[in-house]
Structure 1
Amino acid sequence: MDVLIWIGAGLTVLGLAGIIYSMVLVTMAKRANLSDEDMRTRLGKILPLNLGTLFLSMIGLMMVIVGLMLG
């Protein structure tokens, strides 16, 4: 079960890095002083990345919990 815990921890770290990356992209978009429509378009492109990395992080944490319960 140690392998399951380490794989889950890796997925969690990868998801956290993606969430931080999406936060950086949103901050850069805010500082670009875009029009409302351009801002909506750019944030619409960032949203799937944010949701995907959040899902990846959640799956990783669930793997860690299952590995701890089984181990």
Structure 2
Amino acid sequence: MEILVWAGAAVSLIGLFGLIWCILRVWGARRAKLGEDAMRKVLQKVLPVNTGALFLSVIGLMMVVIGILLQ
């Protein structure tokens, strides 16, 4: 079950990096003072990545908890 814990930690880190990327992307768009339409396009592109990264983080944390409980 140790493999499950480490695999979960890796999946969770991938999700965390995705969330950080989303934050930096939107932050950069805000600093560029884009217009409403341009900002909307940026947010529409970031939203699926943000949702997927959050999903990966949650699945990874679940894997870690299950691996710890099964040890």
TM-score range with shorter-chain normalisation?
Answer: over 0.9
1:25 and 2:29 are equivalent in the alignment = no
Q: Distance in 1 between matches of 2:11 and 2:42?
A: 26
Distance 1:34 1:67 in 2: 45
What count of residue pairs does the alignment treat as equivalent?
71
| TM-score normalised by L of structure 2 | 0.96
Give the ranges of 4+ consecutive aligned residues of structure 1 lying more than 2 Å apart after TM superposition. Answer: none
Identity fraction in percent: 48
| Deviation at residue 66 of structure 1 after TM alignment | 0.5
Question: Unaligned regions of 5+ residues in structure 1, if any?
Answer: none
Q: Amino acid of the residue matched to residue 55 of structure 2?
A: F
2:2 match: 2
TM-score, length-scaled by structure 1? 0.96
Matches of 1:21 and 1:42, distance apart in 2: 13
Question: How many angstroms does 1:33 deviate by?
Answer: 1.2
Q: CA RMSD in A?
A: 0.6
